[in-house]
Structure 1
Amino acid sequence: MVDVPGGRVHLVEQGTGPLVLLVHGFPELWHSWRHQLPAIAAAGHRAVAVDVRGYGRSSAPASAEEYRIGALVEDNVAVVRALGEETAVIVGHDWGSTIAADSALLRPDVFTAVGLFGVPYAPRGAIRPTDAFALMGGDEEFYAAYFQEPGRAEAEIEKDVRGWLAGFYATLSGDTRPVSGEGAAFFVPAGGRMGDRFVRARPTWLDDAELDFLAAEFERTGLTGALNRYRSMDRDWEDLAAWEGAPITQPSLFVAGALDASVAWLADAVEAFPVTLPGLVASRLIEGSGHWVQQERPDEVNRVLVSWLRALEGRTPSTPPRSPR
């Protein structure tokens, strides 16, 4: 546990050397990086995986106001400082990818390189997020809009945390995702629940012990802290007005599952990488993997991640970035 301005952050670390900060997404914990911690440590780095504010053993302020992106960036900066370091490489998955990207954008003095998993970098645009969500649903409701009202999603999820998590993980996994109606689970019919369209199968990467651990943590904490990240998106949009369209210029990495719906939905963001991520060193789609790429394909992801970290060690500011592929 380390102290930060907003409370305390729980982290798990392994290894010594240059700091690599790992930031998870929704609905996950530091645990989602369990396969990467030893690989990064073996490569000569200090691997640190945090529980993001609102998750696990980290502080969980009651107000959604406390989950705006600036506060999460400052949590990451405070973790780096608490560990006795001045700079770090930051890597994130899902919401953690957005948090990592904005950490690199807002604090380039601290975060010298950024790895993005599952969700590509998309600079702040002209449309308010909740306005965009309203346009996406049609007769149904986009899941991020469904998450906006305090207590509403909690009422669904917390009736059966283990079952809801299992269904959510399965629906986005490469080996259990729906073969038809792909993406339908992200739209909630009028009067329905998000979980009504979940796949009822178990991904090969998720065993009972791991699911039990995750469920127990979310049963203990509830889901409000995690969902408050969605409820701060309009605040982020307001706070990032000065960075509209801004690129991230540090060396970067993008990794995603080839079957991840986020890649399809955000294809324009990927196409824009030459402009938005001019320091992109490598971009890789992992065949057969869905959204949980570092858990579904840990060995392949570790090879890509460690190769990128080694490339950073020999990189100078004048070295031109490789083109994305």
Structure 2
Amino acid sequence: MSQTPAAEFRHRFVASPAGRTHLVESGEGPLVLLVHGFPESWYSWRHQLTALAAAGYRAVAVDVRGYGRSSRPAAVEAYRMLDLVADAVAVVHGLGESDAVVVGHDWGANIAATSALLRPDVFRAVGMLSVPYAPPGGPRPSEVFAAMGGDEEFYVSYFQRPGRAEAEIEPDVRGWLAGLYAALSADTMPAPGAPDPHFVGRGGRMRDRFPAGRLPAWLGERDLDVFAGEFERTGLSGALARYRNMDRDWEDLADHAGAPVTQPSLFVGGGLDASTTWMGEAIAAFPTTLPGLVGSHILEGCGHWVQQERPAEVNRLLVEWLDALPG
């Protein structure tokens, strides 16, 4: 498959409820909207932008509000899921399109799935990487996370108080990102039985459990420079605000408790990713929660950053799925 040079990536802005959304696009054809997770940016889709363009698609990777060159509202509550869905719809319409396929990774998978749930008129199919679909509902998220870990604190709870995680990360953004990326990558993650980097020891920091001294194979020094450079410029508060709205999302989406996503869907997860293993019940429930599921794939020996750790496999799965979609 031919590759589209990075020089052919087109940067632009579209108006959105956030203010404006920065995006990078490549190729022509049916629109495929790519939504990143934490702590990343449009750049996490660099391999997919080239592959999807070569396959005949208009691939568009956004900076989610609070990240990169997109607008960063000051209020924490401006990052609730309903606002992120509205941004996604605005991007589709701002590009002159009436519908799109939406694909997300990590938090982007939640944004993609909720966009498909709430706006089936706009999003005709949905792909989720790393984080499987779990319908709205259930117990209040903050109570669930607070009960995890015993004497240790789950990272989502650690992220809740504004300023706390920022104080750990922002003095050394590059080092912190390198450690987190390594902690959740197949070739550099802590050995089985080592302290889990998803939890924080009493009085400690997340980075205390990150591997040090070696980058994962998928992450070059230049790649790390791109990710770190954006967060050094913007800070982390916009990105972390997503975690600080989980209870608001739970309230906002209460009327959709248990609702399935019925459009054609795809899931790709890493066999060594905690998101896949912890959410095994959500994957098992796909026949009910994703009745339009076309394929569910676990990449053995892969960590959390699936589209960067295994770009060739993910690109193949995406293109095969997209090519088979109706219309």
The 4+ residue runs of structure 1 with deviation greater than 4 A are none
**Counterpart position of 2:308:** 295
1:141-168 Cα offsets, whole Å, 9 max, x none, are 1000000000000000011100000000
**Counterpart position of 1:61:** 73
2: CA distance between counterparts of 1:132 and 1:125? 12
1:223-302 paired onto structure 2 within 5 Å: 223-302=236-315
Give the secondary-structure state (helix, strand or coil) at the position aligned to 2:145.
Answer: helix
User: Contact 1:251 / 1:280 at 8 angstroms: preserved in 2?
Assistant: yes
One-letter amino acid matched to 1:311: A
1: CA distance between counterparts of 2:18 and 2:230? 21
2: CA distance between counterparts of 1:6 and 1:300? 34
2: CA distance between counterparts of 1:137 and 1:238? 25
- Does residue 219 of structure 1 match 2:248? no
One of 28, 43, 53 as aligned partner of 1:41: 53
1:97-136 Cα offsets, whole Å, 9 max, x none, are 0000000000000000000000000011220110001111
One of 96, 106, 113 as aligned partner of 1:101: 113
One-letter amino acid matched to 2:132: P
Q: How many residues align?
A: 314
User: Contact 2:195 / 2:209 at 8 angstroms: preserved in 1?
Assistant: no
* Distance verdict in 2 for CA 1:115–1:182, change over 3 Å: farther
- Does residue 168 of structure 1 match 2:180? yes
**Counterpart position of 1:29:** 41
1: CA distance between counterparts of 2:36 and 2:183? 18
Give the secondary-structure state (helix, strand or coil) at the position aligned to 2:219.
Answer: coil
1:241-282 Cα offsets, whole Å, 9 max, x none, are 000010000000000111111101100100000000000000
- Does residue 185 of structure 1 match 2:203? no
1: CA distance between counterparts of 2:194 and 2:186? 12
1: CA distance between counterparts of 2:97 and 2:194? 44
1:63-92 Cα offsets, whole Å, 9 max, x none, are 111000000000000000000000000000
One-letter amino acid matched to 2:57: H
User: Contact 2:105 / 2:128 at 8 angstroms: preserved in 1?
Assistant: yes
List runs of 5+ in structure 2 lacking aligned partners. 1-12
User: Contact 1:183 / 1:261 at 8 angstroms: preserved in 2?
Assistant: no
2: CA distance between counterparts of 1:213 and 1:46? 23
2: CA distance between counterparts of 1:302 and 1:129? 33
Q: CA deviation at 1:313?
A: 3.9
User: Contact 2:156 / 2:243 at 8 angstroms: preserved in 1?
Assistant: yes
One-letter amino acid matched to 1:202: L
User: Contact 1:174 / 1:288 at 8 angstroms: preserved in 2?
Assistant: yes
* Distance verdict in 2 for CA 1:183–1:60, change over 3 Å: farther
One of 148, 158, 161 as aligned partner of 1:149: 161
TM-score (norm 1): 0.95
**CA-based RMSD:** 0.9
User: Contact 2:137 / 2:256 at 8 angstroms: preserved in 1?
Assistant: no
2: CA distance between counterparts of 1:126 and 1:307? 34
Q: CA deviation at 1:182?
A: 5.9
**Counterpart position of 1:50:** 62
User: Contact 1:91 / 1:97 at 8 angstroms: preserved in 2?
Assistant: yes
